[in-house]
Amino acid sequence: MKRAAMIAATTVISERANGAPYLPARYSPHLRVVDGVQWDKAPCRFCGTGCHVQVGVKDGKVVAIAGDRQAEVNKGLLCVKGYHVGLALYGKDRLTQPLLRQDGKLVPISWKKALDVIADRVQKNPAGFAFYGSGQWTIPEGYAANKFMKGGLSNNHIDPNARLCMASAVTGFLSTYGVDEPAGCYDDLDACDVVVFWGNNPAEMHPVLFSRIVDRRSRGETVRIVDITTRTTRSSGFADDVLLMKPQGDLAIANGLLHLLIARGTYDKEFVEKYCAFRGESDPPSLNGKAISFEDFKREIAEYTPAYVEQLSGVPARKIEELATLFGDRKLKITSLWCMGVNQHTRGTAMNALIHGVHLLSGHFGTPGNAPTSLTGQPSACGTVREVGTLSHALPGGRVVANEKHRRQGEDLWRVPHGRINAKPGYHTVELWRNFSTPTEKGGDIHTIWVQVTNPGQTLPNTNELFYPSRKLKDKFLIVSDVYPTETTLHADLVLPSAMWVEKNGMVGNSERRTQQWFKMVAPPGDARDDCWQIIAVARRLFDRGFAGMKDKDGKFLFAVEENGKEVPIWDYRHYYDVNVDRSLFEEYRPWTRLKHKDLAPYDEYVRAHGLRWPVVQQPDSSWRETKFRFSGFDDPYVAKGKTYDFYHSTSEDGRAQIWFHPYAAPPEAPDKDFPFWLCTGRVLEHWHSGSLTMRIPQLRRAMPQAYAEMHPMDARTLGVGNGERVRIRSRRGELELPVWIGGRGAPPPGTVFVPFFDESLLINRVTLDAHDPFSKQPDYKKCAVALERLSTEAGTP
């Protein structure tokens, strides 16, 4: 018997080593096996485009990636990052065990101890415990964190890194339509005659979407591209018109277009009279401002003549007039796209609203090809942050903590006692980290931050003020869940190894309101575990200690999951995949989504589909139908019958969208005699965000091995630097030494330098500014003042 038992166990191990299925059984209709490779679908791990990939697994490892031809987003195409996404799992230095800092060193500890440490920090003072999350959180992860903090700890100090990338898009949508997220979708790119890029570089940042436009041209279609930018980029190379503007000039350009549409009488009078209202800034300032009349608006916009706009923006008046001519032609279908250039802006809310206003005033809205669409950078800034509400003022379903009715709704949906959700919004990101870096005795009341799926040590602005000071404060404790060592884990007190992408089940939501799902396909390395499990396990530790916040109103565990009438111990990782926790959390979350007409379908519909765009509503034949064009009667199921358009969340409560007057305002910091250059930061094609994943993919690292300072040849000549030579970039906040790249893929104008932020060895955010938009609280990474000094005469190509 003993020999037979040993043979049995050894046989199982041998079979597993040879590729026998290793994972909990799952039903995926997309699963297929070809030549010993098991293929299944997943959205790409990287950007907010939401391309679908086919993931090939053999011997417990991802061995192949292919574009998914059935995916409506990318139709089989991937970008260079997407083709290599599988390699992101296999860097040599994956985090595999919990690590606790003791005597200055990170030492391995057990998960049991790690959970106790976190629970101790919560119980030290629940009000001073904060969560810093991410637009890379899956929907269930963000939902669990939100419920843990707001429904459990009665604490709203949870904010995401998407505060740094999308918050102004949110406030722009809210102030215009009364509800977040684009009305249009990627189908607009297949139908438009004109596409306007407002301060973004989609050729590098959203290359698959860019390809949709370029492919149409290669098939002989006419698609006119207008590129409004502060530096010429690869996108500019494809543009018919490049409007090279001074930083902040976009405010003037948008106002200039509004002015000309009215002055020329080419605005869509019928559309405006039926479907729009006008708003201006209030005193004191508020997100919804004050109602103004069309005549008021006309009076305010009058000064933005082409000559004045040229003075403010540096763009020749003629080009403003030409763009206004395009917008004034209702036969053309025009789509605007924007991303960080508009959102990372101290007037980001205003800028977003102005672009919406240009489309509404000109009637380029609501039919295929006519859309103002903000693009997201992260895979689930929409699906998790914006929809699940992991912001310090928000709840899921577009609810806000400051509204009593919303809190009651939330408490009922979460089955927690009334009064559990705190009415006071928590700290937004900049505030949160500034507070964490402030000594307790000086009012810094945040004692612990738990970071998941993001790298604030590299991505926060002005890190010398917002991040590093906290590391010298003994009573401030930083917990980081991540997959690789980063600048943030380097300074953490507790590091938790996380599973990533297809090492766990997941769901995300992309830029076009498309919610997507995937199943776990491979095991995480070592003792790395799902971020969602980590949250639930800490919650359970607190529950077992009698912490009232982790009980619902019936005294049950806040994250209880039952099967056949029995609670499944999902807080024990050995049982976490006994049930589908994602499905359980998602179905609990779904009722929230109907509150603001962002209905989601049942979980299993997303298993079957390559994503669905909400609102997804059930048809009489029980099928589920997605919505491509919101607020349009021909497609949106929530538009009242008989109406062509219906802005059913109108802030003026009359079914109208708001066209805003927002005046030009100078940036908070501009070049002067001490700091004579503009600094703009951003991304590159090969790397995503802080590079913690892509810099570990050899092919991508070789293609773009380090950051650089991109400058104009004239400036380089004046400074006396050649390609590859080093300069010091210095601001009022910090400095950094970098190699120079002249004549690279981007061309900043004289007086501007561009530095990408992906390189953890060259942390440009020590230099950037933390000034932010007054409503969205989103910082401006695109413009601050710096000085440049030549450092060495040694050449070296970046």
Q: Tell me if 17 contacts other proteins by CB under 8 A.
A: yes
Interacting residue with other proteins among 26, 28, 37, 60 (CB under 8 A): 60
Provide the mask over 573-592, with x wherever binding to other proteins is found by CB under 8 A and - wherever it is not: -x------------------
Q: Tell me if 329 contacts other proteins by CB under 8 A.
A: no
SS3 480: strand
Q: Tell me if 97 contacts other proteins by CB under 8 A.
A: yes
Q: Active-site residue 378, yes or no?
A: yes
Catalytic residue among 47, 149, 165, 550: 165
Instruction: Supply the minimum distance, in Å, between the C-beta of residue 55 and other proteins.
Output: 16
Cβ proximity to other proteins, 473 vs 579, nearer residue: 579
Cβ proximity to other proteins, 11 vs 125, nearer residue: 11
**Residue 153 structure tokens:** 């700890």
Cβ proximity to other proteins, 59 vs 735, nearer residue: 59
Specify burial of residue 678 (Cβ count, 10 A radius: 0-12, 13-18, 19+): buried
Q: Tell me if 1 contacts other proteins by CB under 8 A.
A: yes
Q: What are the phi and psi torsion angles at 245 (to 5°)?
A: -115, 160
Stretch that binds other proteins, among 90-98, 427-435, 560-568, 783-791 (CB under 8 A): 90-98
Q: Active-site residue 81, yes or no?
A: yes
Q: Which residues contact 103 (CB under 8 A, 6 or more apart)?
A: none
Catalytic residue among 54, 378, 516, 778: 378
Please tell me the distance from the alpha carbon of residue 415 to that of residue 429, in angstroms, as a whole number: 29
Please tell me the distance from the alpha carbon of residue 372 to that of residue 181, in angstroms, as a whole number: 10
Cβ proximity to other proteins, 2 vs 219, nearer residue: 2
Q: Tell me if 568 contacts other proteins by CB under 8 A.
A: no
Q: Active-site residue 534, yes or no?
A: no
Q: Which H helix or E strand runs over 464? A: helix 463-466
Please tell me the distance from the alpha carbon of residue 12 to that of residue 567, in angstroms, as a whole number: 30
Q: How many residues bind other proteins (CB under 8 A)?
A: 25
Q: Identify whether the C-beta of residue 354 lies closer than 8 Å to the C-beta of residue 261.
A: no
Interacting residue with other proteins among 23, 31, 37, 61 (CB under 8 A): 61
SS3 682: strand
Q: Tell me if 6 contacts other proteins by CB under 8 A.
A: yes
Instruction: Supply the minimum distance, in Å, between the C-beta of residue 451 and other proteins.
Output: 24
> 466-472 — which CB contacts under 8 Å span 24+ positions?
466/430, 466/433, 466/434, 466/437, 466/770, 467/433, 467/437, 467/491, 468/437, 469/437, 469/438, 470/433, 470/436, 470/437
Please tell me the distance from the alpha carbon of residue 153 to that of residue 122, in angstroms, as a whole number: 9
Q: How far is CA 557 from CA 47, 541, 549, 570, in A?
A: 35, 11, 9, 11
Q: Identify whether the C-beta of residue 466 lies closer than 8 Å to the C-beta of residue 488.
A: no
Q: Tell me if 714 contacts other proteins by CB under 8 A.
A: no
Q: Tell me if 13 contacts other proteins by CB under 8 A.
A: yes
Q: Identify whether the C-beta of residue 45 lies closer than 8 Å to the C-beta of residue 501.
A: yes
Stretch that binds other proteins, among 92-100, 653-661, 688-696, 734-742 (CB under 8 A): 92-100
Q: Active-site residue 245, yes or no?
A: no
Q: Active-site residue 166, yes or no?
A: yes
Catalytic residue among 44, 47, 166, 339: 166
Q: Tell me if 4 contacts other proteins by CB under 8 A.
A: yes
Catalytic residue among 340, 532, 550, 695: 340
Q: Identify whether the C-beta of residue 687 lies closer than 8 Å to the C-beta of residue 704.
A: yes
Stretch that binds other proteins, among 11-19, 201-209, 549-557, 668-676 (CB under 8 A): 11-19
What is the gyration radius of the CA atoms in the chain, in angstroms?
26
Cβ proximity to other proteins, 357 vs 524, nearer residue: 524
Binding site for other proteins (CB under 8 A): 1-2, 4-6, 8-10, 12-14, 16-17, 60-61, 94, 96-97, 108, 110, 523, 525-527, 574
Catalytic residue list: 81, 165-166, 340, 377-378
